[in-house]
Amino acid sequence: MKRRSFVKSTLLTGVTATVLPAMSKATEIASKATEYYELRTYNLKNQEQQKLVEDFLKDTAIPALNHLGVKHVGVFIEMKPEGQTRLFVLIQYNSLAHFSTVTDSFEANPELQAKGSAYLNASAESPAYERIESSLLKAFVHMPHLEAPENKSRIFELRQYQSATEAAGKKKIEMFNDQGEIDVFKRLGFKPVFWGETVIGSQRPNLTYMITFDDLEAKSSHWKAFGSDPEWKKISAVPEYADALLVNKITSTMLVPTAYSQI
């Protein structure tokens, strides 16, 4: 009951008369607009920092973001961390206007600031985290909306393809959008969550996407099927789409969702 009262007060306090029209407009165009995603990586030193960040996300940030129209917030830890795990947070926005509205409303809400004070106002001697790496991604045209998987035990793979030039990066995105590469993933049961071009962030130019599996055995079998798929072989055989021309680094991070993750 206290949590419901908090969420209700958040609406009354945080959303001003100037923000409401913007939120209404963002909601109206949500079904047509291309989504944007904020991908945060929290670098943590110890379990105390992890608990502080997770408590803030679970008890304060996620309920408030949901109330402001964010449908899904994913929170993940590394499957096999080297030392203290990093914390990955994926936030879905209906549009750039929605991103701006949510950010402004969150920062202007005194109740949220007070409730999240332990995290937001942590001292320099005992910080809540070491650093946050954050990127803003624009959804691909061929998959403009995030697709949350079935709520059951599963693992996630976060992949990033870096390109040597902007032109090469755009050409790789063209493979997914126009040549049917996303369709191959879906047909083979990878259950993609999102595809996004990094418009602000590190290691640009790059594209990032997330796929999901029941377990590591399923991951192995799916990638084996992908590599031998006739349609994929046809797409990748086109000289202008050769990986050697378009991609110069691939990173893969295996993740496990937290109990309160909405993805």
Contact partners, residue 224, CB within 8 Å, separation at least 6: none
pLDDT (average), residues 142-161:
94
211: nearest Cα among 227, 197, 225, 190: 190
Backbone angles phi, psi at 176, to 5 degrees: -70, -45
Domains 2-11+33-135 and 141-257 fall in the same CATH topology: yes
Q: Please give the Cα distance from 244 to 246 (Å, whole number).
A: 6
Enumerate the domain spans of the chain.
2-11+33-135, 141-257
Supply the pLDDT for residue 18: 41
Supply the pLDDT for residue 210: 98
The residue that leads in pLDDT, 56 or 30, is 56
Nearest-10 Cα torsion for 63, 69, 74, 75: -30
Contact partners, residue 152, CB within 8 Å, separation at least 6: none
Supply the pLDDT for residue 32: 60
Q: Is 258 strand, coil or helix?
A: coil
Express each pLDDT in 208-260 by its tens digit.
999 999 999 999 999 999 999 999 999 999 999 998 999 999 999 999 999 99
Assess whether pLDDT exceeds 90 at residue 4.
no
Express each pLDDT in 61-90 by its tens digit.
999 999 999 999 999 999 999 999 999 999
Report pTM. 0.84
224 beta partners:
none
Check whether domain 141-257 has CATH 2.60.40.1250, yes or no: no
* Count of alpha carbons within 13 angstroms of residue 33, beta-carbon side: 18
Express each pLDDT in 96-121 by its tens digit.
999 999 999 888 888 888 999 999 99
Q: Is residue 64 within a helix (H) or strand (E), and if so which, with residue range?
A: helix 62-67
Record: fold of 2-11+33-135? Alpha-Beta Plaits (3.30.70)
